[in-house]
Amino acid sequence: MIIETLSTFPRMYDSVMGSSMMKRAQDKGIISFHAHDLRDWTHDRHRTTDDDPYGGGAGLVMKCEPLFEAYEDIVGAPAPVPTLDPFALLRGQGNARSLRQSCSHESAGECAGDAFAASEEGAPRGAHQASSARAEMPGGHFARAGLSERLSSPERADVPEYEGALELERECAPGHGAPAPTVIFLAPQGRRFDDAYASELAQRERLLFVCGHYEGIDERAYALADEVISLGDYVLTSGELASMVVIDAVVRKLPGVLGAPDGPVDESFTSGLLEYPQYTRPASFRGQEVPAVLLSGDHGAVARWRRNMSLERTARWRPDLLEAFERAGNLTPADREFLETLAGEQGS
């Protein structure tokens, strides 16, 4: 899977994508990750990506121009026509994927694509970076300049492998084998993110997260989105933080990322219930004992105990999940008997 982000603060991904499971997934070649710097598609000396909102008000709004230029470079297709209809995406209009599917590679332009170039180590490799903002980032990913900027760079001759890397980028662009990305915006009006949604995204070949900041994004830019995701009814400082949550939830579902093959299956929300309690050594700690059934070696008894604990936890802490689980017809006779016993204990 190819995962890319487009934001004004690409270095925010260094620690998350350069550590633990996310780093392991990259080392194994399960995913490739690239953090694009939106400022590389600006044209003023201050590299401006935001401006004051029309009509007044607090905060700054992210501008259309760099977002559309970056989209066309990264995706390798012309951007959709901006829409002023805030509900177009919800009605299936203004969806960028439908436009990309109707465009041929020729109409997109022979050089309209900034995918990535892979070095022998599997890390991205591109043209000479013109400023410190475009230097290689820790963890093996890059904040990349736009393709058009690198084509015109007078410094490219200083890098022997430049032409080869550029040719590889063209081959990886849409129309030359690379899949078109699912473009995802993070915003309060989006579809609520959950485990089922993570499973859907885990089936995609390439994801591009467009991350807002400040007061938000110019409404016309939502024409670029295939999906809009909301993590919940709260506000974060930036879309980068929200995208990290989504990326982590998606990547851990990919085969080979977690150590145990059934790791992502036997968890909270995957089955519809909260996960059962977990214990490890020592068996006794400060007077608190591990439940005896887990030490019994009776696998059937352990499975039944875990099922009951999942039911009890869900009933106590997320009754809404249990109601949905029951409506779906997932409760067994043994489950119902246990819940009736539990209800009797709580009522006594």
Q: pLDDT by residue (tens digit) across 36-83? A: 999 999 999 999 999 999 999 989 999 999 999 999 999 999 999 886
End-to-end CA distance of the chain: 53
**CA 181, CA 32: separation in Å to the nearest integer?**
13
Residue 143 pLDDT exceeds 50: no
Domains in the chain: boundaries: 2-251, 284-347
Please state whether 93 falls in left (phi above 0), alpha (psi between -120 and 50) or beta: beta
- Residue 267's pLDDT is what? 65
Mean pLDDT of 90-118: 46
Name the nearest CA neighbour of 274 among 325, 220, 233. Answer: 325
Residue 42 has what DSSP assignment?
A: -
**Helix ranges, the chain (H):** 14-17, 20-27, 64-75, 96-102, 105-108, 147-151, 162-172, 195-201, 239-251, 299-317, 319-327, 333-347
Q: Higher-confidence residue: 97 or 345? A: 345
Confidence of residue 346 (pLDDT cuts 50, 70, 90): confident
Say if residue 275's pLDDT is above 70: yes
Q: CA 247 from chain center: how many Å?
A: 3
What's the one-letter identity of residue 37? D
Q: Is the pLDDT of residue 142 over 80?
A: no
SS (H, E, C) 44-92: CCCCCCEECCCCCCCCCEECHHHHHHHHHHHHCCCCCCCCCCCCCCCCC
pLDDT for res 191: 97
Q: What is the pLDDT of residue 124?
A: 36
CA distance 347 to 117: 64
Condensed to tens digits (0 to 9), the pLDDT of residues 235-254 reads 998 999 999 999 999 999 99
Mind giving me the DSSP string for 297-310? --HHHHHHHHHHHH
With beta carbons less than 8 A apart as the criterion, state whether 74 and 96 touch: no
Q: Which CATH architecture has domain 284-347?
A: Orthogonal Bundle (1.10)
Give CATH for domain 2-251.
Answer: 3.40.1280.10
Same CATH topology for 2-251 and 284-347: the answer is no
pLDDT at 28: 97
Neighbours of 136 (CB within 10 A): 14
pLDDT-wise least confident of 109-123, 226-240, 277-291? 109-123
Question: In the chain, what percentage of residues exceed pLDDT 90?
Answer: 64
What value does the mean pLDDT take over residues 284-296? 97
What global pTM score does this model have? 0.75
